[in-house]
Amino acid sequence: MSKILLILSAIFILSNISGKAYSQNTEYDSLRAAELGADDYGMKQYVIAFLKAGKVKSESQEKAQELQLEHLRNITKMAEEGVLVLAGPFLDDTEIRGIYIFDVKTVGEAQRLTETDPAIKAGVLEMELHPWYGSAALMELTKIHGTIQKKSITD
């Protein structure tokens, strides 16, 4: 649990640091803030999900690869729908496998979204969900990523 709190603290601090640097170098744009759902601090509420190793292991390497591809397609679908702002794996081999940040108001909404994930359905991954407060600028991440992505993760 302390590792999760450390990760959340780091993300919060980094989003605040980058937010402060950004606001010092530009003028406040009330229309842009409203479009992104920002409060007076340039922040908004999200739900963060920690993807954890589930109790079920894939039967074979082939099944594991197939399930991973379905998992990635689901991530892509949620990002295209605008409900998933950020997703990615951790690069160490621990119980916590990855992270999602959802643009939803409640943990219940995020729970319904996580239930669409084939890896969750199969029991290979489990989700731990928390309400989270971070920079509204994260809403631009998917658009920016599209301009620098050379290949799709699902190809």
SS3 call for 51? strand
Contact 118, 154 (CB under 8 A): no
pLDDT at 106: 96
Residue 17 CA: distances (Å) to CA of 22, 24, 32, 39? 9, 11, 20, 16
Higher-scoring residue by pLDDT: 69, 154? 69
% of the chain with per-residue pLDDT over 90: 68
pLDDT digits (tens, 9 = 90+) for 19-47: 555 445 468 999 999 999 999 999 999 99
Kindly report, residue by residue over 83-107, the tens digit of the pLDDT.
999 999 999 989 999 999 999 999 9
Per-residue model confidence as pLDDT tens digits over 2-11: 555 445 555 5
The chain-wide mean pLDDT, for the chain, equals 86
Q: Which of helix, strand or coil describes residue 40?
A: coil
CATH numbers and ranges of domains, the chain: 2-148 (3.30.70.1060)
Residue 74 confidence (pLDDT) above 90: yes
